[in-house]
Structures are given as structure tokens and as C-alpha cells.
Amino acid sequence: MKKKKIVIIGIGILLVVIAVIVLFASNSKWSETRFEAIVQETVTMPDGEIRLIVKRTTEIYGAPLNSLHIGKDTKLLDTDGKTITVESLKPEIKVKVTLKDAFTEETPFYYPTVYEVKIIEKDS
């Protein structure tokens, strides 16, 4: 009886350890989403904030235009994965956007954190 309890407790601990390992291994990508879009325009706000206006092409929304904040931590990449400037994101360029997919009801406007904007196809 005592051996049976030890085995059950050991299996329980093993399952918890496996669950924790799986949780930590996949945790970093939980809140990320990716979509393709076409650049509409780049807007510099009076306070210096840079916003990229894009039209999503891979997801259907009531309003497909999105305003994305381009911050100092946002990676801007060309088709080869080399770093570019925001000036390189001209209208009609097709891009892949990676951003934080999180929304809270307390936030009146949804401005996601943009991790990466990568050019996937230039307008010919």
C-alpha cells in the first residue's frame, strides 16, 4: 500500500514537471499573431510617434485598415532579412506583420505592440 502511494505521488510530480516544461517552452509565442498586409501610408504624429497604416490581406475584418505603432524596438526588415528604415516602407508594398495579440476591455483603443514588419513583396 505504501509503495503504491509513492508511485502515485511520483507519477503526479512527473506530470507536473512535464506540464511546467511544456508551459515554459511555448510561452513566448502565445501572444503573437502574424498577418500579411499592404502598406497604405506612413504617418508621423506631432509628438514624433510613427504609425504605419496597413490594409490587412489575410484576415477579414469590418475595417481592414490598421494603424500600427512603429517603436524603437520594432524590427523593420527587407525581403532578405536585412534591417531597413521606416522610409523604405512605401505605399503598396506587401509586408508580413508580427505583433502582440492582446486586448483588454480596459484599453479604449487597441494599439498592439508591433514586433516586426518584414517586406515580402515590393510593388512592381
Report pTM.
0.66
Q: What pLDDT tens digit does each residue of the chain (124 aa) get?
A: 778 888 888 899 999 999 888 776 665 556 678 889 999 999 888 888 888 889 888 766 656 667 888 888 899 999 988 999 988 899 999 999 888 765 544 444 556 778 899 999 775 5
31-121 in CATH: which number? 2.40.50.140
Residues 45-70: b if buried by 16+ CB within 10 A, e if exposed:
eeeeebbbebebeeeeeeeeebebeb
Q: What are the beta bridge partners of residue 116?
A: 75, 98
Domain layout of the chain by residue ranges:
1-29, 31-121
